[in-house]
Structure formats: C-alpha cells, structure tokens
C-alpha cells in the first residue's frame, strides 16, 4: 500500500515563526500536492509538484512556498506564520504525469495552530 | 467554470438507516472524472470510487452504491444499512483535462449513531 507520511499530526506555532511541514511518500510517485482544509471551504490546493525541483502554484499560494529536493519528499513552508494560516494541511501524491483520471493518496494531515 | 456542490453540510442517522449524499457538478468539458473520497476521524482521505463521463452505469460495492446522472449533473452516493464506522466526512471531486487538478466539494459530515 502507498504510504504518505506527514511529520506532525498537531503543531502549535507563534505568529511570525517560520514553519516547515514535511511530507514523504514511499511509492515513487511523480506528483505531490499540498492542500489546506477549512470548515465550509473543503480542500483548497496550495502548491503542487510534478517532478523534483519543480513546483506549480495552486489556488491559494500566497503566504506559502514549497521545496522538492528529492522525489519522495515535498515540504510546505510558511515563511512568517499568521493566525489565518491556522488550518488542517493535507499532503497527497499520485502516480503518473498529471491526468484527470489519477486518484490521490493522502497523508493523515497536520493540524496547525498559529497563536 | 468547474464546480462541485455538496449542499448537505451534515447528516445524522441511526445505524441501519440508508443515507444518500448528494453531489452536483458543473463543467463544460465533455470528458471528465468524478470521485468520492472518505475522510474518517483519523484524517486521511481515502479514495472510494472514480467514474468517467462516458460511463453512466451505476455502481454497487457492498453497502455502497453510486448513481451517476449526466442529465442532472449529479453523482450521488448511497450507503445502505449504515454503520457507526461509516461516520466520516465525504468529499465529492471533479477533474477534467482542462483543469488538470481535482476540484473538491465542501464535504458532507455523516454521523451514524448506534
């Protein structure tokens, strides 16, 4: 089974801190994604990556950056955390070059609270 | 524009009741895919089903069934004889060659009480 692992289940940070959310997948997937999940808003795509060192903006990239130095690892970075970034963050991966038929495999999520 | 609407925010049922989760989608593309994902309390979204726009056959998998109707742009999900373990948030999603990504609905929280 595909395993997508997010480094922390719960995280509490202070406003202005630099925050790293780590995601690792073990099935050699090319595509990786970061979503945030908020009540009433569903899942919104922040950034995604189709290959190492490659990144694309999603729907809500402001305030975030990403890093993909190795195929299996995709990091989400909050350069200066703000309270409106308090949310559940979900990492996902999929197998092939992007196509509409591909299903995503998700991690368990990181609930980030910014105080 | 591509859009997925799940009008039911929260549904509560008692065990063994049947329950239907609604999903209405919008797209102008003729080729598209529809998905359902389940998010249990553990947090990890789990893939349930994928359906392409050319296959309107309904599907049944155990207690789960899906009704795809292009005429009403709906892809509804029915759980028969619900169980407590079905308690989760369920997301419907849409993808097309033009969007190149999954568009999620806002989710429906299902609570099944013993």
Predicted local distance difference test score (pLDDT) of residue B60 = 86
pLDDT at A2 over 70: no
Summary mean pLDDT of chain B? 93
CA dist B61 → A19, B48, B58 (Å)? 42, 10, 10
Predicted local distance difference test score (pLDDT) of residue A98 = 53
Predicted local distance difference test score (pLDDT) of residue B59 = 84
List chain B residues with pLDDT less than 50: none
Task: Name the class of domain A4-98.
Answer: mainly beta
Q: Do A101 and B45 touch (CB under 8 A)?
A: no
Cβ distance B86 to B79 under 8 Å? yes
Predicted local distance difference test score (pLDDT) of residue B101 = 79
Q: Do A100 and B95 touch (CB under 8 A)?
A: yes
pLDDT digits (tens, 9 = 90+) for B25-52: 999 999 899 999 999 998 899 999 999 8
Q: What is the DSSP string of A47-86?
A: EEESSTT--EE-S--TT-EEEEEETTEEEEEESS--GGG-
Predicted local distance difference test score (pLDDT) of residue B100 = 67
pLDDT at A102 over 90: no
Predicted local distance difference test score (pLDDT) of residue A89 = 98
Q: Which of B33, B35, B107 sits opposite A42 (nearest CB)?
A: B107
pLDDT at A97 over 60: no
Interface test mutation site (partner A, options B43, B91, B108, max chain A beta carbons within 10 A): B43
Summary mean pLDDT of chain A? 92
pLDDT digits (tens, 9 = 90+) for A34-83: 999 998 899 999 999 988 988 999 999 999 999 999 999 999 999 999 99
- Encode A18-30: b = buried (16+ Cβ within 10 Å), e = exposed: ebebbbbbeeebb
Q: How far is A70 from chain B (nearest CA, A)?
A: 22
Predicted local distance difference test score (pLDDT) of residue B98 = 75
CATH number (domain holding residue B52):
2.60.40.10
Number of compact structural domains in chain B: 1
Q: How far is B106 from chain A (nearest CA, A)?
A: 4
- Find the residue in A nearest to B91 (Cα): A42
Domain definitions of chain A by residue range: 4-98
Residue B40: domain span: 3-113
Beta strands in chain B (DSSP E): 3-5, 10-14, 19-21, 24-26, 32-39, 46-52, 59-61, 64-69, 74-79, 88-96, 103-104, 108-113
Residues 6 or more apart whose Cβ sits within 8 Å of residue B28:
none
Interface test mutation site (partner A, options B21, B45, B48, max chain A beta carbons within 10 A): B45
- Encode A56-73: b = buried (16+ Cβ within 10 Å), e = exposed: eebeeeeebebbbeebbe
Rg (CA), chain A: 13
């Amino acid at each position: 089974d595909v395993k997508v692992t997010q480094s922390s289940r719960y995280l509490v940070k202070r406003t202005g801190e630099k925050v790293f959310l780590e995601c690792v997948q073990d099935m050699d997937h090319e595509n990786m994604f970061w979503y945030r999940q908020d009540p009433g808003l569903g899942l919104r795509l922040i950034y995604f990556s189709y290959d190492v060192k490659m990144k694309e903006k999603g729907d809500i990239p402001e305030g975030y950056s990403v890093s993909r130095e190795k195929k299996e690892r995709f990091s989400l970075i909050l350069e200066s955390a703000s309270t409106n970034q308090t949310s559940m963050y979900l990492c996902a991966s999929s197998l092939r070059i992007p196509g509409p038929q591909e299903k995503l495999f998700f991690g368990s999520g990181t609930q980030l609270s910014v105080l | 524009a591509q859009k997925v609407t799940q009008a039911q925010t929260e549904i509560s049922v008692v065990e063994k009741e049947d329950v239907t989760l609604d999903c209405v989608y919008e797209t102008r593309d003729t080729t598209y895919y529809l998905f359902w994902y389940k998010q249990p309390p553990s947090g990890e979204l789990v893939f349930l089903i994928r359906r392409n726009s050319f296959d309107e056959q309904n599907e049944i998998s155990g207690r789960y069934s899906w009704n795809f109707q292009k005429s009403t742009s709906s892809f509804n999900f029915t759980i028969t004889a619900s169980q407590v373990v079905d308690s989760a948030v369920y997301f419907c999603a849409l993808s097309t060659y033009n969007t190149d990504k999954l568009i999620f609905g806002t989710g429906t929280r299902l609570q099944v009480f013993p």
